[in-house]
Amino acid sequence: MLHSKLIHPKSIVVVGGSDNIHSPGGRVLKNLIDHQYKGQLFVVNPKQDCVQGVKAYNHINDIPEVDLAIIAISAKYVFETVKVLTQQKNTKGFIIFSAGFSEKDENGEKLEKEIVELINKAGGSLLGPNNIGLINNYYTGVFTTPIPKLDEKGVDFISGSGATAVFIIEAAKSMGLTFSSIYTVGNSAQVGVEEILEYLDDSFKKETSSKVKLLYIESIKNPLKFLKHTASLIRKGCKIAAIKAGSSEAGNRAASSHTGAIANSDVFIDTLFKKAGIIRCYGRNELITVAGILQQKESEGKNIAIITHAGGPAVMLTDVLSKNGLIIPHLEGKESEALLNQLFDGSSVSNPIDFLATGNAEQLGSIIDYCETASEIDAMAVIFGSPGLTTVDDVYAVLDEKIRTSKKPIYAILPSVVNVKNEIQEFIKKGNIAFHDEVLFGNALTKVYNHSSIRDETKDPDFKNFQEARKLVDALPDGYMSTESAVTLLEYAGVKFATPYNVKNEVELDQVSKSIPYPVVLKVEGPLHKSDVGGVILNISTEAELHDSFYKLMRIEGATSVIIQPMIKGMELFIGAKKETNYPHVILCGMGGIFVEVLKDISASMIPVSENVALKMITDLKAYPILKGVRGQSGINIKLFAETIVNISNLLLMVPEIAEIDLNPLMATAKDLTAVDVRIRLERTDEKLQPNEFNEIA
């Protein structure tokens, strides 16, 4: 939990404050003064007694007790300063701008750790080092410009990069996006994105807190903490949009199974965000456009009226919205005809509603009033610029009034950033958001409207064979499990497997060949990639064939035995799961064979996976129509497929040591679902997370 003195300090000392406003220490002081910090303000400056009109002390030892220290001095002096502050000045809040710590070298890292220890010991909170600071409604503790418009209902923004925060603030300005708070974490030595999320979560007040959070993240150190607080904030009614940069860095690509090859790090971020309900963005412009949309009233549906005085932008907006699943309903009937009569000749009300280049403020008012009552419409996008002949103040005044009074959201797309620049500024000053490019807006709108944050059902996972599973696994070493153990583990998890007979010699072969139902399939044990070495023989229907095939397989290099299974017919499915560092497992599913290998038609979710989420994974597959049945072929039992995914999810909760699991293929029919091949790899880590913790979190 962040210390309240970091958030609401009654006194601040700027260590390294100066009259040079081109230096961090000088600029942060100027920002604090300019934006009327109400508490006590001190400066430590070795040479001056007064800096920018503020009392300055020559040495840190001389200052009175102080809540927050903003430190802008060379890295080598920081430790001593923090020592004095923590031990003598009762300081609990620290912002350290200085660079030269863990981002630089090992010595810096050591120094950083020592500073954190001092602060931890004092029970304080540290933002930084190597950051640009913190802005909230209480104080503007940053050394950068511009300071954005602050507003209790503005967005809360946490940034892993100071420069990116600045550029986002700059870009947000022309849209009119306001902020409630901005945190930059720098090296995240003590307080990272997760801790700030925890603070926002714990201190959230339904009536007064901002409902929109933006994140720019480069790394997530503690995914579970991240998940816990983002999910909690979203449950409380917040919307979160986030950029996780570095998504193309190849993750763990060396894994041997298909799952390994497919699930690189980015799928962990993707499924983590999905689980929490975060809207994922990929660029600054997209992030602030999404934020601008989230700051409007919420829409009850996906039916959009496009209101315009210019055809072109309306057509492009229609294209992007309807291509992405939003609806531009055709409007007709008595009311729409009555509306048409109020517009100039040549106007169209069928949607887009085009009231022509000559359209005026009064007409816009009538159109919005019509849409406000029309049951076919959930939201309005108004496009209104100017070719430069006339002013548009009156139009924007109507737009402003209607945005405030209407129940449905109205999005203002104001493209004339040159011709009516001042009118747009005026419109923004009144607290509105102005979008400028209809297609960038349209892409963001579909992202927001198509974002589903359906909560999982929090049914208790089924752990009935927990003890047996633990006992089995605890007795095994790390590495690939034998088929026998793996099949037993699947049984505990409730997953059906085509009974495999592990045959090592002629005696065993004779026994099996007489009792097993034909046709059967033979797979060599030993070599990892069986198919590549010709280690799989299908469709053996006689005892004689079975004998021949057995010896053929045993001659393969590395062969230790042969697995003989009844040959199961059906559609090939695939379920896999993978773990990476300290993230929960990600489960993947799809159709087997070429669908997973060539077409990469795969759905992914982070555990725990409920049946609803499993069903969504299945319906999201491109191959879903095939699973349902096409071209006269019957489909598979989709409920059973979903249940199997849930069973695997529960297995992973019971046995978190499973680093990789591959069921490929499972054979599915309209009635049945049977796994015919399995590979499980165990890898123990230090991390100990009990199954039930997940349910608390997600």
In the window 457-516, what residues touch a copy of itself (CB under 8 A)?
none
Confirm or reject binding of residue 174 to a copy of itself (CB under 8 A).
yes
Using the rule CB under 8 A, is 183 a contact of a copy of itself? no
Of residues 81-140, those binding a copy of itself (CB under 8 A): 99-100, 103-104, 132
Q: Which amino acid is at 503?
A: V
For residues 20 and 669, which CB has a smaller minimum distance to a copy of itself in the complex?
20
Transcribe 40-63 into DSSP letters: EEEEE-SS-SEETTEEEESSGGGS
- Residue 10 interacts with a copy of itself (CB under 8 A): yes or no: no
Query: What angle, 0 to 180 degrees and rounded to 10, lies between the N-to-C axes of helices 611-619 and 638-654?
Result: 130
Residue closer to a copy of itself, measured from CB, 198 or 354: 354
Q: How far is CA 630 from CA 633, 634, 640, in A?
A: 5, 7, 19
**Contact letters for a copy of itself, residues 558-587 (x by CB under 8 A):** ------------------------------
Helix (H) or strand (E) holding 665: strand 658-668
Closest to a copy of itself by CB, 136 or 443: 443
Out of 46, 246, 325, 558, the residue judged to bind a copy of itself by CB under 8 A: 246
Options 438, 456, 580, 660; binder of a copy of itself; rule CB under 8 A:
438
Among 242, 173, 178, 235, smallest CA distance to 210 is for: 178
Given 301, 593, 635, 691, the residue binding a copy of itself (CB under 8 A):
593
Shortest spacing between CB 397 and a copy of itself, in angstroms: 19
Closer residue to a copy of itself in complex, CB, 76/684: 76
**Stretch 26-55 residues interacting with a copy of itself (CB under 8 A):** 27
- Binding range to a copy of itself, per CB under 8 A, among 58-66, 411-419, 450-458, 554-562: 411-419
Q: Which stretch binds a copy of itself (CB under 8 A): 69-77, 403-411, 546-554, 595-603?
A: 595-603
CA distance 403 to 32: 34
Q: What is the smallest separation between the CB atom of 685 and a copy of itself, expressed in angstroms?
A: 27
**538 binds a copy of itself per the rule CB under 8 A:** no
How many residues sit close enough to a copy of itself to count as binding (CB under 8 A)? 84
Amino acid at 34: D
Q: How far apart are CB 282 and a copy of itself at their closest, in Å?
A: 6
Residues 371-400 that bind a copy of itself (CB under 8 A): 385-390
Residue 265 in the binding site for a copy of itself (CB under 8 A): no
Please choose, out of 282-290, 506-514, 559-567, 580-588, the segment that lies near a copy of itself by the rule CB under 8 A. Answer: 282-290
Comparison of 181 and 289: residue with beta carbon closer to a copy of itself? 289
Shortest Å distance, C-beta 1 to a copy of itself: 27
Task: Report the C-alpha gap between 480 and 473 in whole angstroms.
Answer: 12
Site membership for a copy of itself, residue 302 (CB under 8 A) = no
Nearer to a copy of itself, 8 or 284 (CB): 284
Nearer to a copy of itself, 487 or 617 (CB): 617
Min dist. Cβ of residue 583 to a copy of itself (A): 19
118 vs 158 by CB, closer to a copy of itself? 158
Q: Which lies closer to a copy of itself via its Cβ, residue 11 or residue 52?
A: 52
The yes or no reply on residue 528 touching a copy of itself (CB under 8 A) is no
Q: Is 424 in the site for a copy of itself (CB under 8 A)?
A: no
Give the N- to C-terminal CA distance of the chain in Å, as an integer: 20
Q: Smallest gap, in angstroms, from Cβ of residue 537 to a copy of itself?
A: 12
- What is the distance between the alpha carbons of residues 246 and 223, in angstroms, rounded to a whole number? 16
DSSP assignments along 303-320, one per residue: BEEEEES-HHHHHHHHHH
**Spatial contact of 125 and 2, defined as CB atoms under 8 Å apart:** yes
CB of 10 to a copy of itself, least distance (A): 27
Are 239 and 299 spatial neighbours (Cβ–Cβ below 8 Å)? no
Rounded distance between C-alpha atoms, residue 658 and residue 431, angstroms = 52
Q: Is 348 in the site for a copy of itself (CB under 8 A)?
A: no
The verdict on 17 binding a copy of itself (CB under 8 A) reads no
**Residue 526 vs 593, nearer CB to a copy of itself:** 593
For a copy of itself, what does the binding mask look like between residues 218 and 237, x meaning CB under 8 A? x-------------------
Give, in order, the Cα–Cα distances in Å from 158 to each of 162, 197, 229, 351.
10, 8, 14, 39
Q: How far apart are CA 571 and CA 668, in angstroms?
A: 5
Half-sphere exposure of 88 (CA within 13 A, CB side): 10
- Contacting a copy of itself within 611-640 (CB under 8 A): 622-623, 625-626, 630-632
Among 17, 128, 277, 313, binds a copy of itself (CB under 8 A): 313
Q: In the complex, what is the shortest distance from the CB of residue 148 to a copy of itself, in angstroms, rounded to a whole number?
A: 10
List, in order, residues 6 or more apart from 330 with CB less than 8 Å away: 350, 351
Binding of a copy of itself by 357 (CB under 8 A): yes
688 near a copy of itself (CB under 8 A) = no
Q: Judge contact between 111 and 86, C-beta under 8 A.
A: no
What span, in angstroms and rounded, lies between the C-alpha atoms of 271 and 281?
14
Cβ at position 629, least distance to a copy of itself in Å: 11
Shortest Å distance, C-beta 143 to a copy of itself: 7
Specify the DSSP element, H or E, that contains 394.
Answer: helix 393-405
Segment contacting a copy of itself by CB under 8 A, of 10-18, 199-207, 312-320, 512-520:
312-320
Q: Which residues contact 32 (CB under 8 A, 6 or more apart)?
A: 12, 14, 41, 139, 140, 141
Candidates 8, 83, 149, 436: give the one binding a copy of itself (CB under 8 A): 436
Residue 205 found at the interface with a copy of itself (CB under 8 A): no
| Amino acid letter, residue 633 | Q
Hey, CA dihedral for 128, 129, 135, 137, is it positive or negative?
positive
Interface with a copy of itself includes 318 (CB under 8 A)?
yes
Query: What DSSP designation does 534 have?
Result: T
According to the binding rule CB under 8 A, does residue 261 interact with a copy of itself? no
Least Å from the CB of residue 661 to a copy of itself: 21
Residues 648-667 that bind a copy of itself (CB under 8 A): none
Q: Which two tokens stand for residue 184?
A: 């930059």
Question: In the complex, what is the shortest distance from the CB of residue 329 to a copy of itself, in angstroms, rounded to a whole number?
Answer: 14
Q: Are 227 and 275 in contact (CB under 8 A)?
A: yes
Show the 3-state SS of 21-40.
Answer: CCCHHHHHHHHHHHCCCCCE
SS3 490: helix
Q: How far, CA to CA in Å, does 442 sit from each of 246, 293, 317, 331, 637?
A: 25, 10, 6, 20, 38
Task: Return the number of the residue (217 or 403) whose C-beta is nearest a copy of itself.
Answer: 217
Which amino acid is present at 590? G
Q: Which amino acid is at 252?
A: N
- Which lies closer to a copy of itself via its Cβ, residue 46 or residue 325? 325
DSSP-derived pairing of the beta strands 239-244 and 279-281: parallel
Residue 353 · residue 305 · CB < 8 Å: yes
Helix (H) or strand (E) holding 340: helix 334-341
Phi, psi of 307 (to 5 degrees): -115, 125
